[in-house]
Amino acid sequence: MTLDESMQDLGISAFRGKNRTEGTLAAFIEAIQGGRVPAGSVLIVENLDRLSREQVSTALNLFLTITGAGVTIVTLSDGQTYSKEGVDRDFTKLLMSIVYMARAHDESAMKSARLAEAWKAKRARAVADPTAKLTGRTPAWLSLTADRKGFRVMEDRAAIVRRIFQECAAGIGAASIARRLNEDGIRPFGRSGRGWHPSSVKKILDSESVIGTFQPHVKKDGKRVSEGVAIRAYFPSIIEEGLFHTARAALTSRRSGASGQKGRTYGNLFAGLLRCGSCGGPMHLIDKGSPPKGGRYVQCDRARRRVKEDGRLRCEEKRLHHYVTLENFVLACLPDLNIRQVLDLENETVAALRTELSQVEARLGGAQAKMKRLVALAEAAATEDEDEVDDALAGRVLELRTEISTLRRQRKELERRIPVTEAEAVADDREALMEALGHMQRLDEIEDPAERYRARAAFTQDLKRIVALITIDRGSAAITTHSGEEVHLVLDADEFMKQFGTPQPQ
């Protein structure tokens, strides 16, 4: 007999059945069913519970599948042999196997329940006392102190996290942030050989641990899901809440809207705004290299890709429009738009109040959600330390009620102050705006490439607050603001020079 020791399921759960569905045992069962394991083969296991700790009916079905295919099971712990012929001849072997399976499942279920209850008690204590640390696992920019009562911030990594949030808030997407980090030779927190990836950047941007919040998780059906109430001030905060919410809002807006590749120079200020006047589809930026033979152009994406519907081309407008001319036209006409109506322009004080209001509303929503989860946790709690858990939960409920009440008062006061402050604002907003637009029109005069990239990304964010759509139709373009105002342009260099002066090459 040849012994094959190559199949192992190390660390794969027999209680959850993962070894049966995705482990090496699953491959073994597939080999049996595919006829690649001949009848008369022997499967050696330490105990029957190495095969399965699932419910008896599921474990028994697995047992009979193996033996029914002519494979004998041998358990080393007690020297028992199980085969189809042996079970048919002596049914007590089958009964004994069922008893072993039931005991294995019950033991695993009890251990799982005890572990879950222990974690519930730990979470309840942490809710009542954020200085109590649940686990040694920490975000990548923190480490647990030697006494296991606090965390130490790794400033070099925290600086990288702050950069990620600052760039996201400025309008730079996760893919571009990852590329820029790799270009700057900044090592990722995990395996450095892989470099930064958009998914690792998004994971950081989605994590509330940067503002100190810890959300416990459990695994359900193989997926990591939130469990219980989030714990504020559990970690040291390394990001200001204002920056956190600004970056999250920018990330959400990019997820729900059109985007596109930004390249190394953020060459297209109008990504997501350009539409074909012929078919309404998106316009695509095409880089044909350096002038004079090359240049950057925009073209209908459907026409470029020859998209068909019912056998006919969706769009035949293949005309190329010079991007630099389009950019100069749009920048030149912005001062003529009724931007005050679109942006509801405000002075710095009003802007600060609105930012504070959005933060208060976000915190209020978070506190209310935590209250709901805390109530659910209280209803489900049943541990040996039930009195201690109840006291901890009751204390946290009181804290949340106080926090919600305070936040509601703050919101009401801010809602009162904003219109009053707005009415008192000085009337020089437009002059300041024109100065800002003048700066925007000189974006490419910024010498530092990284700073120019950030400036163009930030301008695109601001532009999308003003402009809803730029429709290009043959030699013309129409800019539509969010307030419904339209400005029509003729995309002709001679006309541009007559109206606005000679365009500056990029």
Residue 125 lies in a domain: no
Say which residue, 260 or 305, is predicted with more confidence. 305
pLDDT of residue 470: 93
Residue 334 corresponds to which tokens in the numbers above?
């912005």
For residues 168-195, average pLDDT: 83
Each residue of 471-501: b (16+ CB within 10 Å) or e?
A: bbbeeebebbbeeebebebebeeeebeeeee
- pLDDT for 276-303, tens place per residue? 999 999 998 888 877 777 788 999 988 8
Q: How many domains would you assign to the chain?
A: 4
Of the candidates 491, 498, 463, the residue with the CA atom closest to the CA atom of residue 322:
491
Compute the Cα dihedral for 349, 353, 354, 355 and give only its sign: positive
Residue 8 lies in a domain: no
For residues 77-81, average pLDDT: 77
Look at 130-139, 401-410, 490-499 and tell me which has the smallest mean pLDDT: 490-499
In 155-201 the beta strands, taken as DSSP E runs, fall at none
Q: Are residues 328 and 438 in the same domain?
A: yes
Residue 128 lies in a domain: no
The domain boundary, picked from 109, 133, 155, lies at 109
224 φψ region: left (φ > 0), alpha (ψ -120 to 50), beta (else): beta
Other beta carbons within 10 angstroms of residue 365's beta carbon come to 11
For residues 326-355, average pLDDT: 71
For residues 369 and 337, what is the distance between their CA atoms, to the nearest angstrom?
41
For residues 74 and 70, what is the distance between their CA atoms, to the nearest angstrom?
13
Residue 144 corresponds to which tokens in the numbers above?
């647990």
- Whether the CB-CB separation of 19 and 13 falls below 8 Å is answered with yes
Q: Are residues 253 and 175 in the same domain?
A: yes
- pLDDT for 183-200, tens place per residue? 888 989 876 567 888 889
For residues 429-457, average pLDDT: 66
- Whether the CB-CB separation of 428 and 352 falls below 8 Å is answered with no
For residues 171-177, average pLDDT: 86
Q: Residue 308's beta-bridge partner residues?
A: 313
Compute the Cα dihedral for 128, 133, 139, 145 and give only its sign: positive
For residues 374-390, average pLDDT: 62
**Residue 391 above 70 pLDDT?**
no
Each residue of 193-219: b (16+ CB within 10 Å) or e?
A: eeebbeebbbebbebbbbbbbbbbeee
Burial of 67 (0-12, 13-18, 19+ CB in 10 A): buried
Look at 13-17, 101-105, 133-137 and tell me which has the smallest mean pLDDT: 13-17
Q: Are residues 56 and 87 in the same domain?
A: yes
For residues 106 and 114, what is the distance between their CA atoms, to the nearest angstrom?
12
Highest mean pLDDT among 63-67, 157-161, 481-485: 157-161
The CATH number that applies at residue 102 is: 3.40.50.1390
Q: Are residues 199 and 323 in the same domain?
A: no
**Residue 40 above 50 pLDDT?**
yes
Q: Are residues 252 and 239 in the same domain?
A: yes
**Residue 318 above 70 pLDDT?**
yes
pLDDT of residue 371: 83
Q: Are residues 470 and 322 in the same domain?
A: yes
Burial of 232 (0-12, 13-18, 19+ CB in 10 A): buried
Which range marks the domain in which residue 298 is found?
274-343+429-500
Residue 218 lies in a domain: yes
